[in-house]
């Protein structure tokens, strides 16, 4: 089997610092995709940058739990005209979406509005993923697929990090978190694989940076390249040119500038080419 590597930056459009990092990592590193927060404070800037980089794949970074669309008056008017606030507590909100018709209807309106906003950007819709991986929720995934397919949605991220090869890449680092994730998220990953296949959508076979979010280094990415399994592997990172501060900023212990440095590590591209790995966008996958 061939080895495809998809490298994605999340939170595109959330801030200028993120947008700068996406452009730097794409032009001078191995970044192939970015996931757009359509109601982010810097979404317009992100769209302009993306149009200057035709080789960058762009998808929707769906935001439901604590969505930016619900925090700004201007964005709320564009994205959520009904004024429904889905809340910032993912567990209780997720339960409500599953069992409450009113909450599920609000989620449906929000999801459809975010896809419409992406369609209005003029960018090709390459893939879907989620803020806080909210698209793992079965109901949210079903609603998102229904809203995205008419707009040309082609692929969906499955944010499941298998224990075996991930452990080979990172050693015993955060081993407890890796084991917990591998066990608890297996049912969700299984559902996502069945659902995306039934919808005729592409999905990754492997994912990296779930357990190491915010602290992925150049050494780790080099180790990943050297241990890359067959099939399609996605790496999902959160690069930034400066530490972000604000309501939708990453946790304070995350090193987003370090992840930008990792993406632009000059050792990576020669090693990728030497091993015959296909570095690509979501939209390039067969």
C-alpha 48/C-alpha 147 separation (Å) is 24
C-alpha 27/C-alpha 22 separation (Å) is 9
The answer to whether the beta carbons of residues 280 and 51 sit under 8 Å apart is: no
Looking at the DSSP bridge assignments, the partners of residue 130 are 62
| Ranges in the chain, pLDDT < 50 | none
Q: Which of 146, 264, 244, 261 is nearest to 198 (CA)?
A: 146
pLDDT value at residue 246: 67
- At 202, give phi and psi (nearest 5°): -80, 150
pTM of the model: 0.91
pLDDT value at residue 164: 73
The answer to whether the beta carbons of residues 247 and 71 sit under 8 Å apart is: yes
pLDDT value at residue 67: 59
Longest dimension (CA), the chain: 54
C-alpha 90/C-alpha 211 separation (Å) is 19
CB atoms within 10 A of CB 247: 10
C-alpha 128/C-alpha 33 separation (Å) is 11
pLDDT value at residue 83: 53
C-alpha 216/C-alpha 54 separation (Å) is 26
Token pair listed for 66: 């604590």
pLDDT value at residue 78: 53
pLDDT value at residue 180: 72
């Amino acid at each position: 089997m061939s080895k495809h590597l998809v490298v994605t930056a999340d939170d595109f459009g959330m801030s200028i610092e993120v947008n700068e990092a996406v452009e730097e990592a794409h032009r001078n590193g191995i970044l192939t995709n970015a996931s757009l927060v359509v109601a982010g404070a810097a979404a317009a800037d992100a769209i302009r940058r993306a149009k200057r980089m035709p080789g960058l794949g762009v998808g929707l970074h769906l935001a439901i739990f604590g969505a930016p669309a619900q925090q700004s008056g201007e964005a709320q008017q564009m994205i959520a005209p009904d004024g429904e606030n889905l809340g910032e507590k993912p567990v209780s909100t997720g339960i409500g979406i599953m069992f409450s018709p009113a909450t599920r209807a609000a989620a449906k309106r929000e999801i459809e509005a975010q896809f419409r906003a992406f369609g209005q950007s003029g960018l090709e819709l390459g893939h879907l993923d989620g803020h806080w991986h909210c698209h793992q929720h079965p109901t949210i995934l079903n609603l998102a697929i229904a809203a995205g397919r008419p707009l040309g949605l082609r692929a969906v991220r499955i944010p499941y990090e298998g224990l075996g090869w991930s452990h080979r890449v990172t050693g015993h680092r955060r081993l407890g978190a890796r084991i917990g994730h591998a066990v608890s998220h297996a049912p969700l990953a299984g559902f996502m694989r069945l659902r995306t296949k039934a919808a005729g959508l592409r999905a990754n076979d492997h994912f990296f940076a779930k357990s190491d979010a915010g602290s992925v280094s150049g050494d780790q990415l080099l180790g990943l390249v050297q241990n890359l399994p067959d099939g399609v592997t996605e790496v999902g990172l959160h690069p930034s040119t400066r530490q972000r501060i604000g309501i939708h900023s990453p946790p304070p212990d995350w090193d987003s500038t370090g992840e930008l440095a990792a993406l632009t590590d000059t050792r990576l591209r020669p090693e990728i080419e030497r091993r015959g790995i296909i570095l690509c966008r979501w939209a390039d996958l067969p």
